[in-house]
Structures are given as structure tokens and as C-alpha cells.
């Protein structure tokens, strides 16, 4: 079976390499991309979309289909990893560890012992014990709000400076993951639950696709944001700019949610009980 798989990979790789023979040379100034596409985007992007950042205009408008399917691929990859990694069997640990917050003393409670779940003076810690560090915990708690705020800025300001949905979504996800690392997985899940994260994964893709469907309902082509002008109360050019922002928000939500889902499952071996 391995040999058959290797043969298939070699055949597909050879066909792909053969298909590149007709491609123009790397950085060829006479290639169609250099003589037709690039000059058009540089000259007309601002006029067509009112977006100074040409990269964002190209990604979310001129080649919006491609970016939509990139977002769908990210969602599908997160979904596949969920089904491969997630374990739903509940296995009670042999020993529960709790830290007494006022004194810092750690209690080891064996199976069958009374667990102080409802007490505010005790904090459960993972069986793979990590020393409690108040400085790291407090520093991360102070930094994370600014990280999340910067992520929102990257998404909202991607029209005018480097940024956009993919970059902002990664920063949003990294902020939540930093909180899980500096505190614990259960604390992060208490704020962004697994089910809510799954809804966010789907919502990001639906925002993107739904924007295109709304354009169809308004009588225009799929992802032709200018059709949204009557709904947004602006002219068609500015409507394209606003449409780009809407789909970038969807991309950011999807990327953030997939990153969080992957971390929840990878750090806890799919059990989502104890993790890094």
C-alpha cells in the first residue's frame, strides 16, 4: 500500500512539474502578470475600490473567489483536525491537584477523595504540574487586551496598511492561546467554549459566502460588492470598500476560531481537560 501511494505521489508530482514547462520564467518582465495584471491593479485599484492597500484590494475583491476558498480550506482543515484529534471519553484522573491560593500549598487528592470544586480559595492545576508564577500570569493578563485590540486594528485597518483578516485572525487566536498557556486550558475554555468556537468557525465562512449571496440577491454577480450600495447607503465604489471589510471580518473570525480549536485539541491530546 505504501508503494502504491509513493507511485501515485511520484506520478502526480511529475505531471505538475511537466505542467510548469509553459510557465514564464521567474520574475520575467514580459510575462502576462507583469505586462497586463500588475499595471492594471496599480493604476485602477484605488479608483475601483477606494482601498489604498492594493494587496487587500486584490485579495478580497479582484480575486475574491480564491480568498473565499482559502478561508473554506482553513475551515475544512480545522474540521478535519477536530475529527482526528477530539476524544469524547471521560477518564477521571487518579490524582487531582489543587493549589490553595492564599498559601500556595498544593494538595494531592486521590480518586474518591473530596474535591474542593466550589471553593474560591482553591485552584485546580494540571497533573503535569507547572510551577505557579504570579509575574507571568499577571503580565500576560495585562498584555492580552492590547494584543486583541491590535488584532482588531489589523483587521479594520487592512485597507490602508499591511494587515487584513488572515493576519488579524492569527493575532486574535494567539492572544487567546497566550491566555491558555499563562493560566490553563480550563480557564481559556471558560471564556471561549468549544461549542462557541465551532460556531465561530462556521460563522466566519458564512459571513464571506453570505456576502456573495447577498450580492446575487441584489441582482449583481457573486461577490460584486458594488451591489450593496443601496443597503450601505453609499456609492458603488465605497460599497466595494465596505464589502472588502465585511469579508475580511469573516476571514478573521474563521482563522481565529480554527487556531483556538487546534490548540485546544493538540495541547490536551483531544480530551480538552488538561493541557499546556
- Assess if residue 20 is contained within a domain: no
Residue 224: CB partners within 8 Å, gap ≥ 6?
A: 215
- Assess if residue 191 is contained within a domain: yes
- Assess if residue 73 is contained within a domain: yes
Q: Are 48 and 244 in contact (CB under 8 A)?
A: no
- Assess if residue 247 is contained within a domain: yes
- Assess if residue 114 is contained within a domain: no
CA atoms of 151 and 147, how far apart (whole Å): 6
* CA angle, residues 111, 124, 92, in degrees to nearest 5: 35
- Assess if residue 260 is contained within a domain: yes
CA atoms of 276 and 18, how far apart (whole Å): 45
- Assess if residue 38 is contained within a domain: no
- Assess if residue 118 is contained within a domain: no
Domain range for 52 is 46-89+131-267
Q: Are 266 and 182 in contact (CB under 8 A)?
A: no
CA atoms of 207 and 252, how far apart (whole Å): 11
Q: Are 98 and 109 in contact (CB under 8 A)?
A: yes
Average pLDDT over the chain, rounded to an integer:
86
> How many structural domains compose the chain?
1
Maximum C-alpha span of the chain:
76
Please write the tens of the pLDDT for every residue from 44-103: 888 888 888 888 899 889 988 999 999 999 999 888 888 888 887 666 666 777 777 777
pLDDT of residue 145: 95
pTM: 0.82
Please write the tens of the pLDDT for every residue from 188-242: 888 899 899 999 999 999 999 999 999 999 989 999 999 999 998 899 999 999 9
Amino acid at each position: 500500500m505504501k508503494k502504491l501511494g509513493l507511485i501515485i505521489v511520484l506520478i502526480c508530482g511529475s505531471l505538475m512539474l511537466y505542467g510548469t514547462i509553459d510557465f514564464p520564467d521567474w520574475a520575467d518582465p514580459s510575462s502576462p502578470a507583469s505586462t497586463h495584471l500588475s499595471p492594471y491593479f496599480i493604476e485602477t485599484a484605488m479608483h475601483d475600490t477606494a482601498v489604498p492597500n492594493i494587496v487587500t484590494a486584490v485579495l478580497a475583491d479582484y480575486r475574491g473567489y480564491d480568498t473565499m476558498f482559502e478561508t473554506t480550506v482553513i475551515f475544512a482543515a480545522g474540521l478535519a483536525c477536530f475529527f482526528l484529534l477530539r476524544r469524547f471519553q471521560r477518564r477521571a484522573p487518579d490524582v487531582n491537584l489543587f493549589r490553595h491560593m492564599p498559601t500556595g500549598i498544593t494538595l494531592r487528592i486521590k480518586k474518591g477523595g473530596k474535591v474542593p470544586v466550589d471553593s474560591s480559595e482553591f485552584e485546580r492545576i494540571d497533573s503535569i504540574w507547572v510551577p505557579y508564577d504570579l509575574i507571568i500570569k499577571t503580565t500576560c493578563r495585562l498584555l492580552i487586551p492590547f494584543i486583541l485590540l491590535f488584532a482588531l486594528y489589523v483587521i479594520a485597518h487592512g485597507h490602508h496598511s499591511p494587515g487584513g483578516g488572515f493576519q488579524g485572525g492569527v493575532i486574535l487566536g494567539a492572544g487567546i492561546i497566550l491566555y491558555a498557556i499563562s493560566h490553563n486550558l480550563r480557564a481559556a475554555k471558560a471564556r471561549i467554549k468549544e461549542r462557541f468556537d465551532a460556531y465561530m468557525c462556521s460563522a466566519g465562512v458564512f459571513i464571506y459566502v453570505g456576502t456573495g449571496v447577498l450580492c446575487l440577491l441584489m441582482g449583481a454577480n457573486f461577490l460584486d460588492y458594488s451591489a450593496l450600495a443601496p443597503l450601505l447607503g453609499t456609492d458603488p465604489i465605497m460599497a466595494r470598500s465596505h464589502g472588502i471589510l465585511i469579508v475580511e471580518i469573516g476571514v478573521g473570525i474563521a482563522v481565529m476560531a480554527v487556531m483556538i480549536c487546534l490548540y485546544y485539541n493538540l495541547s490536551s491530546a483531544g480530551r480538552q481537560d488538561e493541557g499546556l
